[in-house]
Structure 1
Amino acid sequence: MVQLHHGWQVSARNTPVPVSRVAATVPGCVHTDLLAAGLIPDPYLDENEDALKWIGQTRWTYETSFLWNGPEDDRIDLVCAGLDTVATISLNGTEVGRTANMHRGYRFDLRSALTPGRNDLRVVFDSPYEYTAAMARQVGSRPGAYDEPYNLIRKMACNFGWDWGPTVVTAGIWQPIGLHSWSTARLAQVRPQVTVDGTTGLVEVHIDVERASTESLTVTAEVGGVVGVATIGAGSIGAVLRLSVPDVRRWWPRGYGEQPLYPLRVVLASEGGRELDRWERRVGFRSVRIDTTPDAHGTPYTLLVNDVPVFVKGVNWIPDDAFVTRITRERLAERFRQACAANVNYLRVWGGGRYESEDFYDLADELGLLVGQDFLFACAAYPEEEPFAAEVAAEAREHVVRLASHPSLVTWTGNNENIWGFADWGWPEKLAGRSWGAGFYHRLLPSIVAALDPTRPYWPGSPWSGTDDLHPNDPAHGTMHIWDVWNQIDYTHYRDYIPRFVAEFGFQAPPAYATLRRALSDEPLASDSPGMRHHQKAMDGDLKLRRGLDAHLPEPRDFDDWHYLTQVNQARAIRLALEHFRSHQPVCMGAIVWQLNDCWPVTSWAAIDGDGRRKPLWYALRDAFAERLLTLQPRDGGLVLVASNDTDRPWRAEAAVTSYDLGGKALVSTTVAVDVAPRAVQTIPLPDGVALPEEPRSELLRAVAGEQQAWWFYAEDRDTDYPAARYETNVEPVPGGYAVTVTAGTILRDLTLFPDRLDPAATVDQSLVTLLPGESVTFKVSSAVSLPAANLAARPVLRCVNDIPRA
Structure 2
Amino acid sequence: MCDVVHPRPESGDWSRTMKDVTQLTEGWSVRHEEALLPARVPGCVHTDLLAADVIPDPFIGLNETEVAWVGRRGWTYLTDLAHDSAHERTDLVFDGLDTAARITLAGRELGRTRNMHRSYRFDVTGRTGPLEVRFASAYEEAEAVRSLTGSRPNVYPEPSQYIRKMACSFGWDWGPTLVTAGIWRPVRLEHWSTARLARVRPLVTVADGAGRVEVRLEVERTRRGEGRPLTARASVGGVQAEVSFEGEEAVLELEVADPELWWPRGYGRQPLYDLEVRLSDESGPLDGWQRRIGFRRIELDRSADEHGTGFTLVVNGVRIFARGVNWIPDDVFPSRITPERYRARLQQAADANVDLVRIWGGGIYEDDAFYDACDELGLMVWQDFLFACSAYPEEQPLRGEIEAEARDNVVRLMPHPSLVLWNGNNENLWGFRDWGWEGELAGDSWGEGYYLGLLPRLVAELDPTRPYTAGSPWSGSWDHHPNDPAHGTFHSWEVWNRQDYAEYRTSVPRFVAEFGWQAPPAIATLRRALPGERPAPDSPGMLHHQKAEDGNGKLNRGVARHFPLPDDDFDRWHYLTQVVQARAVAAGIEHWRSHWPVCAGTVVWQLNDCWPVTSWSAVDGDGRLKPLHHELRRVYADRLLTVQPGDSGLTLAVVNQSAGVWRTSVSLRRLHADGSTVHEDVVDVTAGPRSVVRLPVPPVLAPAEGSAKEFLVADADGLRALHFPVPDKDFACPRPRYDVAVEPVPGESDRVDIVVSAHTLVRDLLLQADRLGPRAAADQGLQTLLPGERTRIKVSGCGFPDVQDVRAALFSVDTM
1:689 is displaced (CA, Å) by: 1.3
1:707 is displaced (CA, Å) by: 1.1
1:464 is displaced (CA, Å) by: 0.2
- Residues 59 and 612, structure 2, Cα contact 8 Å, conserved in 1: yes
Counting only pairs closer than 5 Å after superposition, residues 78-97 of structure 1 correspond to structure 2 as 78-97=92-111
- Residues 738 and 783, structure 1, Cα contact 8 Å, conserved in 2: no
* Match of residue 45 from structure 1: 60
Counting only pairs closer than 5 Å after superposition, residues 498-647 of structure 1 correspond to structure 2 as 498-557=508-567, 558-647=569-658
1:66 is displaced (CA, Å) by: 3.1
1:261 is displaced (CA, Å) by: 0.6
* Match of residue 238 from structure 2: 225
For the pair 1:11 / 2:40, whether they are aligned, the reply is no
Give the distance between the partners of 1:746 and 1:787, measured in 2 at CA.
25
Summarize the Cα distance change of 1:695–1:219 in structure 2 as closer, same or farther, 3 Å threshold. Answer: closer
Give the distance between the partners of 1:652 and 1:225, measured in 2 at CA.
43
* Match of residue 671 from structure 1: 682
* Match of residue 295 from structure 2: 285
SS in 2 for 1:84: coil
Give the distance between the partners of 1:190 and 1:136, measured in 2 at CA.
36
Deviation readout 1:3-43 (Å, 9 max, x if unpaired): 11111110144xxxxx6201000000000000001111000
Match of 2:449 among 439, 445, 461: 439
SS in 1 for 2:176: coil
- Residues 533 and 541, structure 2, Cα contact 8 Å, conserved in 1: no
For the pair 1:211 / 2:221, whether they are aligned, the reply is yes
1:755 is displaced (CA, Å) by: 1.3
1:163 is displaced (CA, Å) by: 0.2
1:337 is displaced (CA, Å) by: 1.3
* Match of residue 753 from structure 2: 739
SS in 2 for 1:245: strand
Deviation readout 1:443-476 (Å, 9 max, x if unpaired): 1000000000000000000000011111000000
Summarize the Cα distance change of 1:784–1:549 in structure 2 as closer, same or farther, 3 Å threshold. Answer: closer
Summarize the Cα distance change of 1:666–1:109 in structure 2 as closer, same or farther, 3 Å threshold. Answer: same
- Residues 556 and 565, structure 2, Cα contact 8 Å, conserved in 1: no
* Match of residue 101 from structure 1: 115
Normalising by structure 1, we get a TM-score of 0.97
| Paired amino acid for 2:89 | R
For the pair 1:268 / 2:288, whether they are aligned, the reply is no
Summarize the Cα distance change of 1:694–1:393 in structure 2 as closer, same or farther, 3 Å threshold. Answer: closer
* Match of residue 779 from structure 2: 765
Match of 1:55 among 57, 70, 84: 70
SS in 1 for 2:278: strand
1:428 is displaced (CA, Å) by: 1.4
Match of 1:125 among 135, 152, 172: 135
Structure 1 stretches of 4+ moved >3 Å: none
Deviation readout 1:392-439 (Å, 9 max, x if unpaired): 000101111111111100000000000000010001122121100000
Match of 2:367 among 343, 349, 357: 357
1:784 is displaced (CA, Å) by: 4.9
| Paired amino acid for 2:678 | L
Give the distance between the partners of 1:666 and 1:20, measured in 2 at CA.
77
| Paired amino acid for 1:8 | W
- Residues 705 and 725, structure 2, Cα contact 8 Å, conserved in 1: no
Give structure 1 stretches of 5+ with no counterpart: 14-18
SS in 1 for 2:76: strand
- Residues 74 and 136, structure 2, Cα contact 8 Å, conserved in 1: yes
Counting only pairs closer than 5 Å after superposition, residues 489-504 of structure 1 correspond to structure 2 as 489-504=499-514
| Paired amino acid for 2:264 | P
Q: Which segment is superposed worse, 685-694 or 313-322?
A: 685-694
Give the distance between the partners of 2:35 and 2:798, measured in 1 at CA.
43
Summarize the Cα distance change of 1:552–1:583 in structure 2 as closer, same or farther, 3 Å threshold. Answer: same
* Match of residue 238 from structure 1: 249
| Paired amino acid for 2:80 | S
For the pair 1:298 / 2:313, whether they are aligned, the reply is no
* Match of residue 716 from structure 1: 727
* Match of residue 64 from structure 1: 79
* Match of residue 666 from structure 2: 655
Deviation readout 1:725-766 (Å, 9 max, x if unpaired): 111111112223111111111110000001101211111011
Identity of aligned residues (%): 55
SS in 2 for 1:257: coil
Match of 1:33 among 44, 48, 57: 48
Deviation readout 1:532-561 (Å, 9 max, x if unpaired): 000000000000001101101122240000
SS in 2 for 1:587: coil
- Residues 218 and 250, structure 2, Cα contact 8 Å, conserved in 1: yes
Give the distance between the partners of 1:590 and 1:695, measured in 2 at CA.
32
Deviation readout 1:312-338 (Å, 9 max, x if unpaired): 000000010101011011111111111
Give the distance between the partners of 2:401 and 2:620, measured in 1 at CA.
34
Give the distance between the partners of 1:593 and 1:537, measured in 2 at CA.
19
Give the distance between the partners of 1:589 and 1:273, measured in 2 at CA.
55
1:184 is displaced (CA, Å) by: 0.5
Give the distance between the partners of 2:736 and 2:259, measured in 1 at CA.
58
Give the distance between the partners of 1:690 and 1:157, measured in 2 at CA.
53
Deviation readout 1:325-377 (Å, 9 max, x if unpaired): 11011111111111111000000000000011110111111111100000000
Give the distance between the partners of 2:35 and 2:433, measured in 1 at CA.
49
* Match of residue 16 from structure 1: none
For the pair 1:403 / 2:413, whether they are aligned, the reply is yes
* Match of residue 475 from structure 1: 485
| Paired amino acid for 1:266 | V
Deviation readout 1:271-300 (Å, 9 max, x if unpaired): x14100000001100000100111110000
SS in 2 for 1:567: helix
* Match of residue 74 from structure 1: 88
SS in 1 for 2:67: helix
Match of 2:182 among 172, 176, 183: 172
Give structure 2 stretches of 5+ with no counterpart: 1-20
- Residues 12 and 59, structure 1, Cα contact 8 Å, conserved in 2: no
For the pair 1:110 / 2:127, whether they are aligned, the reply is no
* Match of residue 801 from structure 1: 813
SS in 2 for 1:597: coil
Counting only pairs closer than 5 Å after superposition, residues 321-400 of structure 1 correspond to structure 2 as 321-400=331-410
Give the distance between the partners of 1:784 and 1:749, measured in 2 at CA.
25
Normalising by structure 2, we get a TM-score of 0.96
Give the distance between the partners of 2:310 and 2:730, measured in 1 at CA.
40
- Residues 145 and 397, structure 2, Cα contact 8 Å, conserved in 1: no
| Paired amino acid for 1:764 | A
Q: Which segment is superposed worse, 27-36 or 706-715?
A: 706-715
- Residues 28 and 174, structure 1, Cα contact 8 Å, conserved in 2: yes
Deviation readout 1:204-238 (Å, 9 max, x if unpaired): 000000011221111111111111111111xx101
Give the distance between the partners of 1:771 and 1:789, measured in 2 at CA.
20
Deviation readout 1:482-505 (Å, 9 max, x if unpaired): 000111111111111200001000
- Residues 313 and 345, structure 1, Cα contact 8 Å, conserved in 2: yes
| Paired amino acid for 1:174 | W
Give the distance between the partners of 1:531 and 1:230, measured in 2 at CA.
63
1:694 is displaced (CA, Å) by: 7.5
Give the distance between the partners of 1:395 and 1:695, measured in 2 at CA.
57
SS in 1 for 2:640: strand
- Residues 312 and 592, structure 1, Cα contact 8 Å, conserved in 2: yes
Deviation readout 1:752-794 (Å, 9 max, x if unpaired): 00110121111101121101111111111112534222211x2
